Amino acid sequence: MIVIDTNATWFRRGLKDGIPIALGYFAVAFTLGFSAKSAGFTAFQAMVESFTNNASAGEYAVFSLAAAGAGYWEVAVMTLVTNARYLLMSCSLSQKLSPDTSLLHRMLVAFDVTDEIFGISIAVPGRLNPWYSYGAMSVAIPGWSVGTFLGAIAGSILPLRLVSALSVGLYGMFLAVIVPPARNDRVILGAVLISFAASFVSSRWALLSGISPGVKTILLTIIIALAAAVLFPIKDEEGAAQS
């Protein structure tokens, strides 16, 4: 087995593993650029937003709330709620780093803990060198931000009907995230269906007409997720083996 012991080697390995991720990011972010354009963002603003918030669901929430005229605090809270899973991923990934890893390296690695980069990083045998993450990030972040930039430009050039058709790709990505776990877990399926129904009811219920869409989304996300966690807790493997 070849021992990888230099930062340059780790960086090249991360770069190689990050290329497929960057290509996928580019395709998804391109459709996300349409949403940014519809929300009133310029191509440059959309690119900066993607560079600093490399998360599809989080960005879509930002663009949707901005288009609905939501306030800054609503956007901030919804982004925090939507991206909360990255807190857990970061805690798990921190255990892969050497105890001697500096705070600066930990903060830089945490800047781009996405589902895909977390997946390839956690699969690395043994300790994780931060330079592996830097290699993956060096292509993943440009792929995401440039894709959003070009998508926003295309949204200004292409016919409206074509833009609307291509925008479906973003919803397809969300369905690809939801459907597989929902097929294998009835609790997730129930939570998804309840979310759809609750979102529809909240948009039609006159008593909630005074609440902005952003606040409704935040409240529904927290309430449904909390209820699912309390009513259907996930047992850890050790507890399941003892029971």
**What is the reported pLDDT for 121?**
87
Compute CA distances 158 → 31, 34, 163, 165, 170, whole Å: 12, 10, 6, 11, 17
Compute CA distances 68 → 50, 57, 152, 164, whole Å: 19, 16, 18, 18
Chain Cα centroid distance, residue 24: 13
Where in the chain are the domains?
A: 7-168, 185-233
Residues of the chain with pLDDT under 70: 1-4, 158-177, 209-210, 212-215, 217-218, 234-243
Average pLDDT, the chain: 80
- Summarize pLDDT for 19-63 with one digit per residue, the tens: 988 888 888 888 888 888 888 889 999 999 889 888 877 788 888
CA distance 87 to 18: 21
- Summarize pLDDT for 66-92 with one digit per residue, the tens: 888 878 888 888 888 778 778 878 887
Please state the length of the chain: 243
In DSSP terms, which residues pair with 80 in a beta bridge? none
